[in-house]
A and B are shown apart, each in its own frame.
Chain A
Amino acid sequence: MWRDALLVAGKDLRIEGRAKVALNQVGPYALVVLLLFGFAFDEDRPLLENAAPGLFWVAVLFSGLLAVQRSFSLESSDGAVDGLRLSRLDPAGVFLGKAAAVALQLVVLEILLTLGIVVLFHTELSGAALLAVSGVVSTVGVATAGVAYAALSMGLRVRETLLPLLLAPVLAPIVLAATEAWRSALHLSTDDGWRWLVLLGCFAAVYLAGGVLSFGSLMEET
């Protein structure tokens, strides 16, 4: 399973490395979203600083949707998905590989967005451990839920519009918990951020387990 996961992740990342869609399109899009938030809250500077973690994770959610859609549009073209189905790769390995590739792209994107909120929203970084751990756990949750739902809607004609509708409510608890953990790390709230991290971990574990268990059947049925 792990070997197959590495194989699929390597394949997806090589394609991204050559096409540079994440770098040339998704990254700039995420920064534009941050800029738009800036325009929207420009007159209320303290509000912008206070809401920075939430705006950051909403930007990650939007960009994550694009990354996941891109990951499965690769498989939709030229019947590549049939090749994936007919290959003897372990479906759980395929799921983990695709999720890992999306997660890695999201981590790069999050680093870019962190620089964005520091420069644009004057966020002072603190609580590095909580920021990093909650960032990684949230990314795992976003990537696993995203890949599972993208597989679910892969064969549908309306997948571009259906996927955000299906995925956004599923990712809402992740966005909420990640925002609260980051607010705590950045001293914007008095909540215990590590408690939110436990909640994040629970959701990420459920999505990861659900994806691993159901991906094979999803690939067959859709």
Chain B
Amino acid sequence: MRSVLAPPRRLTRALGWSALAALALNTWWGLWLSPPDVVQGQFVRMLYVHPAVATMCYAGFGLCALASVAWLLPRLRSPRWDRLAVAGAEVGAVFCAATLITGSIWGRASWGVWWTWDARLTLTAILFALSLGYLALRRAVSNPQSRAFVSSLVALLMALTVVVDHYATDWFVTLHQGETLPVPSPTVHGWQLATMLVSFFAFALVFAWLVVHRYRLEALEERYDSEAFTLALQARRSEGEGVQPPPHVVKIAPEPAGQGQDRQPVEVPSR
């Protein structure tokens, strides 16, 4: 798993550039090559953003739930799963917000209103609120073990909401259309189908790039939390002994609370 989630920087950069290139291709095909729709006219171009973004939202929360289940299983328990869970949830929340915004714009064009109390829309809004709660809960709990445990429980509930949200168009009478690409006989063809597939590919690359970076950030935050105190002690001891602390200690060690403004910055000799 380490090789997948902590790939070499060169590979991550390549992933980022590929995502950008795929997004550019999606924009070109979506805005210029794909023809307007007979019924929806130019607004059909939302088809090349909204379904892909919504799918990535589900993927984010699904990833979060799977990683949470892995963390809850004693045999698999590892901080890596918790990092992956928060990465999935945060990226999922971003895509969920994008889903609501793009859906609202499309709704205004198709239905004449920005918002309607439809089961799919309402459940997506609830999912977004749940994800905000999940992220707020993670910020509130300082103990890593407790944080991972309580957030795993909330993640399972989010996964349940994702399932209900996905099948909402089948289970309830909704204004929102059903599945966009029913397999094996999709309802869109030609350039529209090709552009839509490109959009899924492009947003999947963006999703993967964001998850990898968020995972790295979480690992760095954990390292900072665990090492900051030791480094601060090292820095203060060095000051007391009149020895210049190593540059990496000065860079990382936090200022003591309330003293930061009165203190002179420590001069670090250049190497």
Q: By the criterion CB–CB under 8 Å, are B150 and A165 in contact?
A: no
Q: By the criterion CB–CB under 8 Å, are B149 and A169 in contact?
A: no
Measured in the bound complex, the distance between the Cα atoms of B150 and A210 in whole Å is 12
Contact A156/B140 with A170-B157, A218-B150 known, Cβ cut-off 8 Å: yes
Cβ–Cβ < 8 Å partners of B132 in chain A: 165
Verify if B220 is at the interface (C-beta below 8 Å from A): no
Nearest chain A CB to B197 CB, angstrom units: 33
Contact A165/B160 with A153-B140, A221-B146 known, Cβ cut-off 8 Å: no
Nearest chain B CB to A171 CB, angstrom units: 10
Verify if A214 is at the interface (C-beta below 8 Å from B): yes
From residue 140 to 189 of chain B, which have CB atoms closer than 8 A to chain A? 140-141, 145-146, 149-150, 153-154, 157, 160
Cβ–Cβ < 8 Å partners of A222 in chain B: 141, 146, 150
Contact A170/B140 with A152-B150, A214-B153 known, Cβ cut-off 8 Å: no
Cβ–Cβ < 8 Å partners of B146 in chain A: 155, 221-222
Q: By the criterion CB–CB under 8 Å, are B126 and A172 in contact?
A: yes
Verify if A168 is at the interface (C-beta below 8 Å from B): yes
Measured in the bound complex, the distance between the Cα atoms of B133 and A168 in whole Å is 10
Interface size on A, residues (CB 8 A): 23
Q: Which has the most chain B C-beta neighbours within 10 Å: A157, A166, A168, A172?
A: A166
Cβ–Cβ < 8 Å partners of B141 in chain A: 156, 222
Verify if B21 is at the interface (C-beta below 8 Å from A): no
Q: Tally A-B pairs: CB < 8 A.
A: 51
Q: By the criterion CB–CB under 8 Å, are B153 and A166 in contact?
A: no
Residues of B within 8 A of A (CB): 122, 126-127, 129-130, 132-133, 136-137, 140-141, 145-146, 149-150, 153-154, 157, 160
Verify if A80 is at the interface (C-beta below 8 Å from B): no
Cβ–Cβ < 8 Å partners of B160 in chain A: 206
Q: Name 18 extra pairs, CB < 8 A, besides A152-B154, A162-B140.
A: A152-B137, A152-B150, A153-B137, A153-B140, A156-B140, A156-B141, A162-B137, A166-B136, A169-B126, A169-B129, A169-B130, A172-B122, A172-B126, A172-B129, A210-B157, A218-B150, A221-B145, A222-B141
Residues of A within 8 A of B (CB): 152-153, 155-159, 162, 165-166, 168-170, 172-173, 176, 206, 210, 214, 217-218, 221-222
Can you report 27 residue pairs joining A to B where beta carbons are below 8 Å apart? Answer: A152-B153, A153-B137, A156-B140, A156-B141, A157-B140, A158-B140, A162-B136, A162-B137, A162-B140, A166-B133, A166-B136, A166-B137, A168-B129, A169-B130, A169-B133, A170-B130, A170-B157, A172-B129, A173-B126, A210-B153, A210-B157, A218-B153, A221-B146, A221-B149, A221-B150, A222-B141, A222-B150
Cβ–Cβ < 8 Å partners of B149 in chain A: 217, 221
Measured in the bound complex, the distance between the Cα atoms of B136 and A82 in whole Å is 26
Cβ–Cβ < 8 Å partners of B126 in chain A: 169, 172-173
Nearest chain B CB to A193 CB, angstrom units: 15
Nearest chain A CB to B185 CB, angstrom units: 31
Cβ–Cβ < 8 Å partners of A157 in chain B: 140
Q: Which has the most chain A C-beta neighbours within 10 Å: B122, B132, B140, B154?
A: B140
Closest chain A residue, CB of each to CB of B119: A176
Measured in the bound complex, the distance between the Cα atoms of B139 and A158 in whole Å is 10
Nearest chain A CB to B96 CB, angstrom units: 12
Nearest chain A CB to B195 CB, angstrom units: 34
Measured in the bound complex, the distance between the Cα atoms of B151 and A222 in whole Å is 12
Cβ–Cβ < 8 Å partners of B130 in chain A: 169-170
Measured in the bound complex, the distance between the Cα atoms of B164 and A173 in whole Å is 11
In the A-B complex, the 3 residue pairs with the closest CB atoms: A169-B129, A166-B133, A221-B146
Closest chain B residue, CB of each to CB of A176: B122
Measured in the bound complex, the distance between the Cα atoms of B154 and A165 in whole Å is 12
Cβ–Cβ < 8 Å partners of A169 in chain B: 126-127, 129-130, 133
Q: Which has the most chain B C-beta neighbours within 10 Å: A168, A217, A218, A221?
A: A221
